[in-house]
């Protein structure tokens, strides 16, 4: 297949490009390189630097290539920042609309969309399945949900098959040694503590109703996530599917795993809870199992090991 990968120089996108080319697909990448790294893009891929808000660029790309499918990773994704920079995050919606319109123009009938568990908001029950109410509590989650809805309309009215994959917490490395240039998530933040780039990890709250008082989150390995996207290329109808492990890891459990595997102490401290942080967030992945024949192959220790290696921890016996 010939596949356009938007955001293909980013953390997940570059891993997907590597896997797609390894399976002999032809790949074209578009990325604005604000966070993506061109050096991570497989040299067998055709690369365009640009943004999805540039409809003219998209038209040029689609006029030069006949795509079988689009895998759409490109977006801004920091939930906190999204509450302050609505104009920037609105580009998530604008870019998706531009992409869909060009797909219609050039008769491209399949899109795999990178969505998020942020569409759900506060959990009403655990584990969260695809029937859980959607009520985002940040503008980032709102943009993802709006993109899903727009894709659903294009599916109904324009015959585009739209597969919306709702990620929980993506972690680990795909062998590309990705180092996050703007760490917002706990894995790269812990790594910045271990390499002395920041003083400590701040744990928000220690009195949640969990086994050790810290939040529990559902982590899914980036390699498993990429596998799900490739499986989704074979789906014949539009779907919304969670991608998660069906289990959870607390903050203190995660720190302990990093310390055990790296043989280094992680400097951390508690601070007050953040508003809107639920005690536990885990996904039901039953639909992914039935629709995609997908389930995670890698556990939390695997994710920690590959992350440590990506940041240069290669001499430890545990690695």
The pLDDT score that the predictor gives to residue 154 is 98
The pLDDT score that the predictor gives to residue 278 is 86
Domains 2-171+219-243 and 186-217+247-310 share a fold: no
Contacts of 85 (CB under 8 A, 6+ apart): none
Mean pLDDT, the chain cut into blocks of 10 residues (319 residues total)? 98 98 98 95 98 97 98 94 95 98 98 97 95 96 98 98 97 95 91 95 95 96 98 97 96 97 96 86 97 97 96 78
Q: List the domain boundaries for the chain.
A: 2-171+219-243, 186-217+247-310
Distance (Å, rounded) from C-alpha 107 to C-alpha 300?
41
**Catalytic hit among 89, 120, 140, 178:** 140
The pLDDT score that the predictor gives to residue 146 is 98
State the sign of the Cα–Cα–Cα–Cα dihedral 16, 46, 34, 268: positive
Strand 26-31 and strand 2-6: the pairing is parallel
The pLDDT score that the predictor gives to residue 181 is 84
State the sign of the Cα–Cα–Cα–Cα dihedral 53, 83, 172, 236: negative
The pLDDT score that the predictor gives to residue 152 is 98
Cβ atoms of 80 and 138 closer than 8 Å: yes
Architecture of domain 2-171+219-243: 3-Layer(aba) Sandwich (3.40)
The pLDDT score that the predictor gives to residue 315 is 66
Q: Say what the alpha-carbon torsion angle 136, 138, 144, 148 is, to the nearest 10 degrees.
A: 30
Is 140 marked active-site?
Answer: yes
**Which run of H or of E encompasses 239?**
strand 239-243
- The CATH number of 186-217+247-310 is 3.90.25.10
Cβ atoms of 58 and 102 closer than 8 Å: yes
The pLDDT score that the predictor gives to residue 124 is 95
């Amino acid at each position: 297949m010939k596949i356009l990968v938007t955001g293909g120089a980013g953390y997940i996108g570059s891993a997907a490009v590597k896997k797609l080319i390894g399976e002999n697909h032809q790949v074209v990448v578009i990325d604005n390189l604000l966070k993506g790294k061109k050096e991570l893009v497989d040299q067998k891929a055709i690369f365009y630097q640009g943004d999805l808000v540039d409809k003219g660029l998209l038209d040029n790309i689609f006029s030069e290539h006949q795509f079988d499918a689009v895998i759409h990773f490109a977006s801004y994704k920091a939930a906190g920042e999204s509450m302050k920079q609505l104009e920037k995050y609105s580009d998530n919606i604008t870019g998706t609309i531009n992409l869909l319109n060009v797909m219609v123009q050039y008769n491209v009938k399949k899109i795999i969309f990178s969505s998020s568990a942020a569409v759900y908001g506060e959990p009403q029950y655990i584990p969260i399945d695809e029937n859980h109410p959607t009520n985002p509590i940040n503008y980032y989650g709102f943009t993802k949900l709006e993109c899903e809805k727009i894709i659903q309309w294009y599916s109904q009215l324009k015959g585009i098959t739209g597969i919306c994959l709702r990620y929980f917490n993506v972690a680990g490395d795909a062998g590309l040694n990705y180092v996050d240039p703007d760490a917002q998530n706990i894995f790269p933040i812990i790594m910045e503590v271990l390499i002395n780039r920041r003083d400590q990890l701040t744990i928000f709250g220690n009195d949640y109703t969990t086994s050790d008082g810290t939040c529990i989150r559902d982590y899914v390995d980036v390699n498993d996530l990429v596998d799900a996207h490739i499986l989704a290329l074979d789906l014949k109808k539009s779907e919304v599917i969670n991608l998660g492990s069906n289990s959870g890891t607390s903050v203190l459990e995660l720190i302990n795993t990093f310390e055990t595997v790296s043989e280094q102490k992680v400097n951390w401290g508690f601070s007050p809870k953040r508003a809107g942080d639920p005690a536990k967030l885990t996904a039901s992945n039953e639909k992914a199992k039935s629709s995609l024949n997908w389930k995670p192959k890698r556990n939390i220790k695997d994710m920690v090991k590959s992350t440590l290696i990506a940041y240069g921890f290669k001499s430890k016996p545990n690695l």
